[in-house]
Amino acid sequence: MHILASGLAAMGRPFSLGMLYDCRNDYLIPGLTLWDEEALGKHIITTDETFTDFKVITSDSTADKFSVLNVNGSLKASFLAGLVTVEGSAKYLKDVKESQNQARVTLCYTTTKKNSQLAMNHLGQEHIKYKEVFSQGIATHVVTGILYGANAFFVFDREVSSGEDRQDVEGNLKVMFNRVPEVSIGGESALDMKNTSKTKTDKFSCRFHGDVLLENNPVSFQDAMDTYKTLPQKVGEGVPVQVNLLPLKELDPTATQMVCQISGSLVDQWQTMLEYLSELEMRCNDAMRSKPVKYFKEIDAKVKTFKKLCLTEKLKTTLADLLPSIRGGEKEERVLSDFLTKQQEFRFNSNILSECLDRIEREINVVDRFLSMITEDYSQTCSTKIVTSKKELDKEVLNSKVKRVVCFTFTSLGCEDPVLSALDSPSSENTQALVPVKPDLTRWYHSVNVFEDMDKQAGLFKDFAEANKEDTQTRFLLASIPNKEQEGASIYLYENGSIRNEHWEPPSKPEKPTARDRTHNSVELELLPPDRGAHDVTHYLIEYCIDEKDGWSSEKTSESDAAYTVSGLLPSTGYKFKYRAVYSGPGGLSWETKTSWSYDSTSWEFSGRMGSQATPR
């Protein structure tokens, strides 16, 4: 009997010779067969088919995973639709990277042992015992051949720092793995850690997906190498890795058959879309680890909403219903093509999704810049505290031991993204508003004017907080409070538990003083007011010393004098001068900027007789 059987990847499923299979939904049918067990056992032909292969791959694409597991044709579509439950080494297909900052190298081991086939010339229609199977319509094929062997995948991952190149990290490990074929399997490994640069491997974690039973799965590089050496002994006779299927119509023309295969171009279209959604999900995972998402619920909500858009469970449910109907001839393939096209035009439009996530990432990066700037890269010793809720802010503001609170406030984090809202709408697949959009330069995180104003405010706030960090009656906070009147950010001033100013401007550092008239024991200093907040300056405090270890002497000016003479200095002695502005805030509360500097150029050495001109050092 001349027959033509098609090949199919086993994908960890428990195939056996004579088993029935439904190719419409790629489903194994246990417990039913065409022949009795005795007849099957007498007509099995087994031949040795030994082969071992080894690969190292750095790609994490579904296409490359399908290739290494020999998953072809319509079976790809069934897996992508969730129709196939994989086991053993095929779970590698579901092991995807979670971060774009994740270096991944996979060690792939493949071996085959034997090939078992049914002698169909002895098992033709006249030998079929259970002919009622043909009329039941539950199967389309029968398993007539099985290739036994095993696959094993060692997946190595590690986080890549901002100063590292992911491809370099992966390349270095791949070079090391390329030595594995030189290892005598079962013998001493040339890749024992004593012969390996530990710094290149100790940061990598390992996950194992294989068709062999291990007492303990490897979790490190050395574990993996030790396991690799023992694989041939553990494989034994192997498990099904590839099967041959014979259409039932070859045995009985009345049997149910698969009318239509899903075209490769549609499967590729589908696979590309899912790959892109997986990349977007990785970007979301990276965003979720950022400080702005951690601290501010408004940004956290946007990222979570977008990540939800990348979920494909509902899509898979629809596809899982369509595939069997198309393969069985109940629906045309055009229905699947129209469905995928519609999804790509609206809900899963790559341009729309990418631009939407670009905006979220831009907002995160802008916020992170100012968080890092103000908190000195999130230093534990920073005088500014980040508050993450209204409750926490109230607790700080209403603290009876604190007279005033200065808060750098993000005011626009809650601004709605209309495209994101439309995508999240139940009717998003029908809306005509979802079209590719250009970056909106009017959004606060794209506006040059808003950014420059925030940069100035953040600089003033940081300097002011640092200068007054020892003031126990003043607290410095960073928070998010929606305020449409103040776009981007604003500095809020609270006094005695109440808001006093929603756009307060701290004074800047005073300019460097200059020395004018000098005598043997005095110097007149010209005091230049700060660029910002000068109108609130009440007076200046001038400090001077010979040696800082001996402490500073200080003198207070009357009001905000433009010049002040310091007298009583020792002749022929070098002095250092510094000064600070003192201003009065709203409500009559006063405190110092403490933006004081020490200058070598303000040290003088006095020489000569009484009344001689002082000469700058």
C-alpha dist (Å) from residue 73 to 63, 79, 265, 277, 430: 12, 11, 10, 22, 32
Beta bridge pairs of residue 249: none
454 CB-contact burial (10 Å; exposed 0-12 / middle 13-18 / buried 19+): buried
Averaged over 418-433, what is the pLDDT?
70
More confident residue, 166 or 609: 166
Does 449 score more than 90 pLDDT?
A: yes
Residue 489: both structure tokens together: 């950010």
Least confident of 160-164, 351-355, 478-482: 160-164
**Cα(468)–Cα(398) distance, rounded to whole angstroms?**
20
Percent of the chain with pLDDT over 90: 53
- pLDDT at residue 300 in the model: 97
Does 156 score more than 50 pLDDT?
A: yes
- pLDDT at residue 428 in the model: 56
- pLDDT at residue 2 in the model: 44
- pLDDT-derived band at 6, boundaries 50, 70, 90: confident
Averaged over 178-194, what is the pLDDT?
51
DSSP labels, 73-107: THHHHHHHTT-----GGGGGGG---S-TTEEEEEE
Averaged over 345-349, what is the pLDDT?
86
End-to-end CA distance of the chain: 110
- pLDDT at residue 185 in the model: 46
Averaged over 284-307, what is the pLDDT?
96
Does 595 score more than 70 pLDDT?
A: no
95 neighbors 216 (Cβ within 8 angstroms): no
Angle at 526 (CA atoms; ends 525, 529), nearest 5 degrees: 130
Q: Which residues of 358-369 are buried (b: 16+ CB within 10 A; e: fewer)?
A: ebbbebbebbbe
Percent of the chain with pLDDT over 70: 87
Averaged over 9-24, what is the pLDDT?
95
Averaged over 434-453, what is the pLDDT?
76
477 CB-contact burial (10 Å; exposed 0-12 / middle 13-18 / buried 19+): buried
Does 182 score more than 60 pLDDT?
A: no
Averaged over 229-248, what is the pLDDT?
94
Q: How many CA atoms lie within 13 A of 518 on its CB side?
A: 22
pLDDT in tens, 527-546: 877 777 777 778 888 888 88
- pLDDT-derived band at 607, boundaries 50, 70, 90: very low
pLDDT in tens, 81-126: 999 999 999 999 999 999 999 999 999 999 999 999 998 776 677 7
Query: β-strand 102-118 against 44-57: which pairing, if any?
Result: antiparallel
- pLDDT at residue 594 in the model: 45
User: Quick one: which of 205, 94, 90, 104 has its CA closest to 151?
Assistant: 90
**Cα(88)–Cα(209) distance, rounded to whole angstroms?**
6
- Tell me the domains of the chain and their CATH numbers: 6-258 (no CATH), 273-501 (no CATH), 514-616 (2.60.40.10)
- pLDDT at residue 598 in the model: 39
What distance lies between CA 333 and its chain's CA centroid? 37
Does 603 score more than 70 pLDDT?
A: no
